[in-house]
């Protein structure tokens, strides 16, 4: 007989919840789309694009196969290509840097600050005559200091290409993640705030020409009206079935974000007094704080991180090291010769606690209690 402690009490994530949460409506949407016979670039996709654009307060959303493609296409439209350099954080998914490499440019990494997002003060020393763009990753559902980043971009004539894959709904100074450059990118990977039942992504923009170029690039370079091939493109269309699911989930995204913020508040209340852990900035910010975070992830820093993680696993609490605990520059196979001492020090202490809307308050309390016990906190 396995003991209670052998059982998973609080899994890091429950994938079936992505479907189960709004099961009846999703079933209806899927069946409707399946029976319609309209599978590629059809009504549900158009409607989702309009609804997402309205949610973000922009003119256009263009559905793509995944956020990685969205980043690559966005870089191409921004004119980033061979012999260019792009500044980005190393505490990001390899996809951010992979998109840079895919357009023939070179990723140059800047340090992150205490909130785990790109440090705007570390950009200027890394700018060269070849630098073309800054790619801030709006990590963990928090938007970076876009005033400071925007000022650097403006001073040096650089494009801003936001990786807001994790940032849907988050804001800085009231402005949504994804709206700070000409275009911004979201991921609908199932574990995201807006999660599909598979891969999906979108690029948002206010610029008509950029939207048209993106629609062409995602559909083999074809003009969306005439079908004439007007440029080299590829196939990266957001699947209409996924769009049908996303339409349902977008209707509830406000509740999703509110609940995540409630869970973050609960963690902050439970763990606030434990000096061995450093928590993300709490959702109830001081007056004047420009951030509104959506808590895509709850990434803490912890003393004796690996011991804590093992202890939590033994007590049935799932945790995760984002990117396996390594910055992009720390994968030897990629041949990146940069050292980023501050980023590396933060990554060596970082740990993601369960954060998703399948969690009950009791589960967050249980996970928190195990952390308190580990550190002997009263
Ligand atoms: C920061 C970041 N960038 C890019 C991506 C890539 O998104 P996708 O899986 O939709 O290509 C992800 C997805 O996990 C991400 O978290």
Atom of ligand 1 nearest to the CA of 201: 10
Residue 125 burial by Cβ neighbours in a 10 Å radius (0-12, 13-18, 19+): exposed
Q: Tell me how many helices (H) and strands (E) the chain has.
A: 12, 13
Length of the chain, please?
Answer: 378
Q: Residue with the nearest Cα to atom 7 of ligand 1?
A: 67
Question: How far is it between the farthest Cα atoms of the chain?
Answer: 69
Distance from C-alpha of 347 to C-alpha of 94, rounded to nearest angstrom: 15
How many angstroms separate the alpha carbon of residue 240 from the centre of ligand 1? 20
Ligand 1, pocket-test mutation among 75, 189, 239, most atoms within 8 A of CB = 189
Does residue 71 contact residue 151 with C-beta atoms inside 8 Å? no
How many angstroms separate the alpha carbon of residue 137 from the centre of ligand 1? 10
The domains found in the chain, sorted by start residue, are 19-250 (3.40.640.10), 253-374 (3.90.1150.10)
Atom of ligand 1 nearest to the CA of 68: 11
Q: pLDDT digit of tens for each residue in the chain (378 aa)?
A: 555 455 789 999 999 999 999 999 999 999 999 999 999 999 999 999 999 999 999 999 999 999 999 999 999 999 999 999 999 999 999 999 999 999 999 999 999 999 999 999 999 999 999 999 999 999 999 999 999 999 999 999 999 999 999 999 999 999 999 999 999 999 999 999 999 999 999 999 999 999 999 999 999 999 999 999 999 999 999 999 999 999 999 999 999 999 999 999 999 999 999 999 999 999 977 788 999 999 999 999 999 999 999 999 999 999 999 999 999 999 999 999 999 999 999 999 999 999 999 999 999 999 999 999 999 986
Which stretches of the chain are DSSP H helices?
A: 16-20, 23-36, 43-56, 67-77, 94-102, 146-156, 208-217, 240-250, 253-271, 305-314, 341-349, 361-374
Question: Which of left, alpha, beta for 349 (phi over 0: left; psi -120 to 50: alpha)?
Answer: alpha
Provide the token pair at 344: 């590396």
Tell me which residues have their CB closer than 6 angstroms to ligand 1: 66-68, 92-93, 95-96, 137, 163, 165-166, 187, 189, 199, 201
Using a CB cutoff of 8 Å and minimum separation of 24, what contacts does 17-21 make?
17/356, 17/357, 17/358, 18/190, 18/191, 18/195, 18/197, 19/197, 21/252, 21/357, 21/358
pTM: 0.96
How many angstroms separate the alpha carbon of residue 94 from the centre of ligand 1? 8
Q: Residue with the nearest Cα to atom 8 of ligand 1?
A: 67
- Strand 201-205 to 60-64 pairing: antiparallel
Atom of ligand 1 nearest to the CA of 95: 4
Using a CB cutoff of 8 Å and minimum separation of 24, what contacts does 363-368 make?
363/9, 363/10, 364/10, 364/263, 364/266, 364/267, 364/270, 365/266, 365/270, 366/9, 366/10, 366/317, 367/10, 367/312, 367/317, 368/266, 368/267, 368/270, 368/271
Ligand 1, pocket-test mutation among 94, 165, 246, most atoms within 8 A of CB = 165
């Amino acid at each position: 007989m396995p003991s209670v402690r052998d059982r998973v009490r609080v899994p890091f994530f429950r994938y079936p919840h992505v479907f189960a949460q709004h099961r009846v409506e999703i079933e209806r949407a899927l069946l409707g789309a399946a029976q319609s016979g309209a599978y590629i670039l059809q009504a549900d996709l158009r409607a989702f694009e309009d609804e997402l654009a309205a949610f973000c307060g922009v003119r256009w959303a263009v559905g793509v196969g995944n956020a990685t493609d969205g980043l690559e296409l966005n870089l191409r439209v921004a004119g980033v290509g061979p012999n260019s350099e792009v500044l980005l954080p190393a505490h990001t998914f390899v996809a951010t840097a992979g998109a840079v490499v895919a357009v023939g440019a070179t990723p140059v990494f800047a340090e992150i600050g205490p909130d785990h997002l790109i440090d705007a003060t570390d950009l200027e020393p890394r700018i060269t005559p070849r630098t073309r763009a800054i790619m801030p990753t709006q990590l963990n559902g928090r938007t970076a200091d876009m005033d400071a980043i925007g000022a650097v971009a403006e001073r040096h004539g650089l494009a801003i290409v936001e990786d807001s894959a994790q940032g849907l709904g988050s804001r800085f100074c009231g402005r949504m993640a994804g709206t700070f450059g000409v275009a911004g990118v979201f991921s609908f990977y199932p574990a995201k705030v807006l999660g599909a039942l598979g891969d999906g992504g979108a690029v948002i923009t206010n610029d008509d020409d950029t939207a048209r170029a993106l629609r062409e690039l995602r559909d083999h370079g074809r003009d969306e009206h005439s079908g004439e091939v007007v440029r080299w493109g590829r196939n990266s269309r957001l699947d209409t079935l996924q769009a049908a699911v996303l339409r349902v989930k977008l209707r509830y995204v406000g509740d999703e974000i509110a609940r995540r913020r409630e869970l973050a508040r609960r963690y902050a209340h439970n763990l606030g007094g434990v000096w061995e852990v450093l928590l993300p900035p709490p959702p109830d910010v001081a007056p004047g704080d420009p951030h509104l975070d959506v808590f895509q992830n709850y990434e803490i820093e912890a003393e004796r991180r690996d011991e804590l993680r093992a202890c939590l696993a033994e007590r049935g609490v799932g945790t995760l090291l984002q990117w396996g605990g390594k910055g992009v520059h720390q994968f030897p196979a990629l041949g990146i010769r940069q050292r980023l001492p501050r980023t590396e020090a933060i990554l060596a202490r970082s740990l993601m606690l369960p954060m998703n809307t399948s969690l009950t308050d009791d589960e967050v309390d249980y996970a928190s209690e195990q952390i308190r016990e580990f550190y002997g906190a009263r």
